[in-house]
């Protein structure tokens, strides 16, 4: 009986890819999901466009504007707003914080608009650029939900802290959210220091962004106390939510601001089993005390500047174009021959304007500029 030959097919498969896979979180979330930061950035850009639309420098300032070719979207003169932005009265109208409006008129809704306002174009661009740079890295590592919660709560607490140091000039606090992210980054670096492979880059980024934006906050209308409140909140909330990232290691060619080595990742997995609930609980209690204390202070109209003479200089440095004294300017107005003459009662300065048809709010802007 003839033997039948059986054909055997042999397929050579390529060697398995031993590269570490891209980070994914539980539930299959890809590492590139960064929609929360994008949403907040779009909202802030939209608010700034709306602010300039309401400002309408070409009409309200009778053409005395910067970049006149933009028409309705042109900016107030730099002597009035060094940030290339709107007037004081329009910042008030859009929801900036001011002592008299918050405590005397009880307009508490400003606590929720304050974190979305920028003083001008020079404030908007660097602030949003830093939010995108720091926020996207954090959101990639820890997910949109946790970073979104930290962003929102840091902004709100920043507004509460700023409310305890207000003067009778409008201030905006969009930088509070940025400092909340910086505080979160610092907490992550502190508690997971041994597991990072890119420590110097992360620390350098944090220090540079912190210092440059805080120095910029000495200009009028930008509130540094919101930044301080946001930073403390971000650190405490980061200690609650981000003690260890819930992610797998990054591919060798995909390193970023927060980068973990392979050995560090193995240690991190062990560390997650020995989590530190006491630290989380203590951080949560401290955040709750901060939030409650600020709320009580704001509702009772407490102004810490009354007890701290040097506190205003944390937020302002005197300059020939502006001062840091909390004084309400007062002007004498005279109308003649289609001209408006305004004289500051405090220092005697005066100015003649070739128009008379302006609103009371705009007259207050001009009076503040003269005084």
- CA–CA distance, 95 with 105 (Å, rounded to integer): 13
Position with higher pLDDT, 346 vs 247? 346
Domains and CATH numbers, the chain: 35-245+269-315 (1.20.1540.10), 331-370 (no CATH)
**pLDDT of the residue at 197:** 76
**More confident of the two residues 178 and 205:** 178
- Residue 348 confidence (pLDDT) above 90: no
Whether residue 102 is predicted with pLDDT greater than 50 in this model: the reply is yes
* pLDDT tens digits for range 197-236: 778 888 998 999 999 999 999 999 999 999 999 999 999 9
pLDDT in tens, 295-318: 999 999 999 998 998 999 998 888
Q: Which of 97, 179, 184 is nearest to 137 (CA)?
A: 184
Query: What rounded mean pLDDT belongs to the chain?
Result: 84
pLDDT at 321: 73
3-state SS assignment for residue 135: helix
Report pTM: 0.84
**Cα atoms in the 13 Å half-sphere on the side-chain side of 111:** 22
Checking if the pLDDT of 1 tops 80, the result is no
Show Cβ contacts of residue 271 under 8 Å, excluding neighbours closer than 6 positions.
195, 244
């Amino acid at each position: 009986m003839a033997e039948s030959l059986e054909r055997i097919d042999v397929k050579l498969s390529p060697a398995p890819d031993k590269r570490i896979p891209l980070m994914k979180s539980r539930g299959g979330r890809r590492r590139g999901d960064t929609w929360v930061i994008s949403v907040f950035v779009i909202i802030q850009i939209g608010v700034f466009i709306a602010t300039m639309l309401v400002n309408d420098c070409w009409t309200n300032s009778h053409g005395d504007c910067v970049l006149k070719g933009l028409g309705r979207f042109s900016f107030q003169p730099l002597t009035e707003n060094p940030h290339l932005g709107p007037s004081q009265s329009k910042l008030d109208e859009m929801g900036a914080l001011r002592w008299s409006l918050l405590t005397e008129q009880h307009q508490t809704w400003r606590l929720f608009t304050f974190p979305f306002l920028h003083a001008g174009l020079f404030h908007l661009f660097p602030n949003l650029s830093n939010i995108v740079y720091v926020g996207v890295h954090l959101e990639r590592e820890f997910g949109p939900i946790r970073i979104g919660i930290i962003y929102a709560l840091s902004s709100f607490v920043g507004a509460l802290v700023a409310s305890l140091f207000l003067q009778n000039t409008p201030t905006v606090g969009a930088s509070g959210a940025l400092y909340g992210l910086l505080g979160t980054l610092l907490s992550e670096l502190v508690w997971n220091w041994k597991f990072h492979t890119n420590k110097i880059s992360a620390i350098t980024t944090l220090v540079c962004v912190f210092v440059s934006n805080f120095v910029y906050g000495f200009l009028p209308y930008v509130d540094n106390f919101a930044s301080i409140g946001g930073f403390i909140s971000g650190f405490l909330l980061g200690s609650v939510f981000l003690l260890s990232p819930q992610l797998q290691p990054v591919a060798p060619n995909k390193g970023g601001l927060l980068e973990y080595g392979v050995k560090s990742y193995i240690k991190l997995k062990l560390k997650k089993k020995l989590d530190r609930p006491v630290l989380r609980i203590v951080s949560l209690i401290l955040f709750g005390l901060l939030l409650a204390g600020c709320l009580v202070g704001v509702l009772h109209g407490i102004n810490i500047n009354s007890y701290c003479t040097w506190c205003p200089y944390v937020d302002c440095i005197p300059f020939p174009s502006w001062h840091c004294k909390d004084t309400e300017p007062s002007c004498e107005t005279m109308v003649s021959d289609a001209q408006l003459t305004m004289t500051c009662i405090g220092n005697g300065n005066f100015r003649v304007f070739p128009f008379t048809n302006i609103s009371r709010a705009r007259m207050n802007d001009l009076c503040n500029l003269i005084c």
